Amino acid sequence: MTDITYIRTWKCWLYLAVVVDLYARKVVGWLMKPTLARELALDAVLMVLWRRKPKYRVIVHSDA
């Protein structure tokens, strides 16, 4: 499952994309950038693929 939120900092707003493994109940990927661009979510999912290296197909769910 994925979600995006924004966080206010002293200098600017940052956008955070998070990928959660619902079976393991763990955050398995994340990425933070100052702009809300398509690459934010895609790079967070790529982080999961790089870290986990799944052997089988996986399902990614997002409300977006």
User: Tens place of pLDDT for every residue, the chain, 64 residues?
Assistant: 899 999 999 999 999 999 999 989 999 999 999 999 889 989 999 999 999 999 999 888 887 6
What is the model's pLDDT at position 64? 61
> Which pair of structure tokens corresponds to residue 20?
């959660």
Rounded to whole angstroms, the Cα distance separating 36 from 15 reads 6
Q: What's the pTM value of the predicted model, to 2 decimals?
A: 0.82
SS3 labels along 16-47: EEEEEECCCCEEEEEEEECCCCHHHHHHHHHH
Residue 2's CB is within 10 A of a number of other CB atoms, namely 18
